[in-house]
Structure 1
C-alpha cells in the first residue's frame, strides 16, 4: 500500500505539471504574414484508396501560394488504386507541385524509409508530414508560416484531433472512448512542451527543418523500430538542444480518421507503446512508467480491496484524486478542440481506461502487432 501511495503522489505531481505546461503555451492565430516559408508536404501511403479522396480535397483547398509548397506522395507498395487516384488528382490540379514517389526500402521501418525518400527530393527548407487518412485545415500552411516567421524553431508539433460521422452529434461509446484517449495524449504531449520536457508528438501534423533533420542524420539509430518517425526525431532534436515547440492553434488542427473497431484501436496503441522501451528521454521514461504503474496499481488495489486484503478507503480516495486531476487536463484539451460534449462519456471511460492502458502496455512487451497489412515484432 505504501508503494502505491508513493506512485499515486508521483502521478498527481505529473498531472499538475502537465496541466501547468498546457496553460503556459499561448494560443496562436495566424496574422497572414507574407508567405515566405516554403513547405514540402510528405505523405507516405499504402493501400489508402478509401481515404485519399478526402485528403486530396483538403489539399486542393489550402490557402497558400502554390509556388511556396509541394506535395510529395510516397507509395509504399500499395496493392489497390491509391496510385491511380493520386495521378488523377495530379492531372486535375496542374497548378499544384505534386510528385508521386516509390518508397526506397532500407530498414525495418517502411514509414521512416518513405519520409527519408521524400526528403532526399524535397525542394523546400521546411518539412511537413501527415498521413493519408487525414484532413488539413485551409489555413494549415499559413498558420505554420506565421509561426515560423515569429519563432526560430527547428521542430514544431501541431495539434491532431479525430474526425468521424459522429463529430457534430452524440458519439457512440467506442468513438467517445477513443476520442478521450486522443485528447489526453494531445494534452499530455503539449503539456510536456510547456514545461520544457517534450517527449511526444504526432507525425500526422509535424513540421521540422530539413537542415536540422540532415544534421541529426535523420532516423539513423531508430530505423530498426517500425514506428516512431515522430517521437524519436523529437528526442534527437532535444539531444542536440534544437528549439522545439507545440503550435497551439485551432487553425492548424489536422483531423485524422478514427479506428474502425476496438481491435484496430488496440493494435494501434500497441504499436505506439512498443517503441517506449527505446525512449532516451528520462522524463518520457518516468512519465510512461508512472502512468502504467498508476493504472496497474488501481486494478490491483481494487482486487485486493474486494478480497478485503486492503482497506478500500485509500484505494477509493486515490481513484477519486486521479479521476479529478485527469478530468482537469482533459477539460483543457477538450475546450481547445471544442469537443466538450465528449466529456459526458468521461465517467465510464475513466473506469475502463486502467484495464485498457494496462493491457496495451503488457501486450506491447510480449507480442508484435500488425500495421498496414504487415506484421512487426515489438
Structure 2
C-alpha cells in the first residue's frame, strides 16, 4: 500500500507541476523584417494531400518576392509531380525540385531535405511536410523567434505546434499530437531541450551548415530529432512556439494500420529522447499497470484516482487547445483517455512484433535507423 500511495503521489505532483507550467508561456512575436526565406517541402507519393499544403503556402502573408518555396519530388510513383506542376504554373515563388540519388550518408526524407538545402538560396530554412496546412502568419512568427537569443546563444532552430484534423479518429490523433507537443513545449520553456518537429520547423542556414548538414550525419529515421539534437549540441539556442500563428494542421492517418506504422517509426525515436521526457512518458505509461495490478490496487480508491487523472488530463488538453486557438468538445476530450490507453497498448505490441519499419513506401531495419 505504501508503494501504491508513493507512486500516485509522485504521479499527481508531476501532473500538477506540468499543468502549472503550462499556464506560463513566452508570448511569440512576429518580426517586422522581411528577409528572404526558403520553404522546403519534401514529398513522396503525396498527390492526395499536397495541394492542400501548397494552397496554404500560397496564402502566406509574406512578400511573394521574399519567398522561395521548394517542393522536392522524392521519387514519387503517383502523380505528385503533376499535381505540383499544375498548381505552381503561375506562381513564381514555387519551384519543383526532382530529388536524385543519395548524397553522403543521407537517406529517405533526410536525403530529400539535404538536396533541397543545396537548391535553397536564403539564410532561413522553413521545413514542413506535404500533408500540412500552415497559418498565414507562420513565416513572420517563426522568424520572430529566430531573432531572439537564449542564454546568450543565437537561436538556430525553432519548432511550432501541430494538431491533426479529420473525422473523430483524426481529431483524437490531433489531441495526441497536442498532448505530446505541449509537454515538450513545457519542458523546453523550462530550459530542458527535447526535440523539434520536422513538419513545422525553422533552421537557420548558419546552424545547419555548422553541423555539416544531413549528408554528414549517420542516418536516423527520426531525422527531425537528430537535427535538433546536433544543432543544440553545437551550441545554438532553440525556441518552441505555442501559438495559433505557429500552428500547423496535419492530415490524420486514415486507418489504424497506417497509424501503427507511423508510431512504430516514432517509437524508434523515443530510444534517443532525453531521459526526463522518456521518464515522464514511462511514468504515464505505468499508471494503469499500477492502478489495476492486483497486489497494489485499493479498489475503493480506484474510481477516485481514475477520475483525478481524467480531470487533470482533460484540463491540460483544454488549456493547450485554447493556447493554440483550437476548440474541441468535452465528450471528445474525455474519450481521449480511452483512445490513449488502447492505442498505447496497440503501439507497444506492434512495435515489438518482428519486421521492418515501413515509411513512405520504403523499408528500414530497426538496427539501421
TM-score by length of 2: 0.87
Cα offset, 1:213, TM superposition: 1.7
Greater relative contact order (Cα < 8 A, sep 6+): 1
2:309 counterpart of 1:333? no
Structure 2 partner of 1:155:
157
Q: Which runs of 5+ in 2 are unaligned?
A: none
- Of 123-132 and 349-358, more deviation after overlay is shown by 349-358
Aligned residues of 1:49 and 1:82 also touching (Cα < 8 A) = yes
- Of 323-332 and 339-348, more deviation after overlay is shown by 339-348
Structure 2 partner of 1:301:
291
Match of residue 210, structure 2, among 205, 211, 215: 215
CA distance in 1, matches of 2:329, 2:267: 24
CA distance in 1, matches of 2:193, 2:235: 12
Structure 2 partner of 1:15:
15
Cα offset, 1:29, TM superposition: 4.7
Aligned-partner SS, 2:328: helix
Cα deviation 1:150-191 (Å, max 9, x = unaligned)? 554211111112233x5xxxxx3x233222212212211211
* Cα-Cα RMSD: 2.6
Aligned residues of 2:160 and 2:197 also touching (Cα < 8 A) = yes
Give the length in aligned residue pairs. 360
Aligned-partner SS, 1:100: strand
Structure 1 residues 9 and 109, CA gap change in structure 2 (3 angstroms): farther
Report 1:316-355 matches (<5 A).
316-355=303-342
Structure 1 residues 14 and 311, CA gap change in structure 2 (3 angstroms): closer
Aligned-partner SS, 1:80: coil
TM-score by length of 1: 0.85
Report 1:1-378 matches (<5 A).
2-3=2-3, 5-30=5-30, 33-35=32-34, 37-93=35-91, 95-106=92-103, 107=105, 109-151=107-149, 152-164=154-166, 172=168, 174-219=169-214, 223-226=218-221, 228-279=222-273, 281-294=274-287, 298-299=288-289, 301-302=291-292, 304=294, 310-367=297-354, 368-378=356-366
Cα offset, 1:97, TM superposition: 4.8
Name the structure where strand makes up a greater proportion of residues: 2
Cα deviation 1:264-300 (Å, max 9, x = unaligned)? 2222222211221133x23233223323333xxx146
Cα offset, 1:138, TM superposition: 1.7
Cα deviation 1:335-374 (Å, max 9, x = unaligned)? 1234333332232321342232233134324444322222
CA distance in 2, matches of 1:243, 1:150: 9
CA distance in 2, matches of 1:224, 1:34: 36
Aligned-partner SS, 1:230: helix
Aligned residues of 1:7 and 1:293 also touching (Cα < 8 A) = no
Cα deviation 1:104-160 (Å, max 9, x = unaligned)? 325574011111111223211111110001112222212223333455421111111
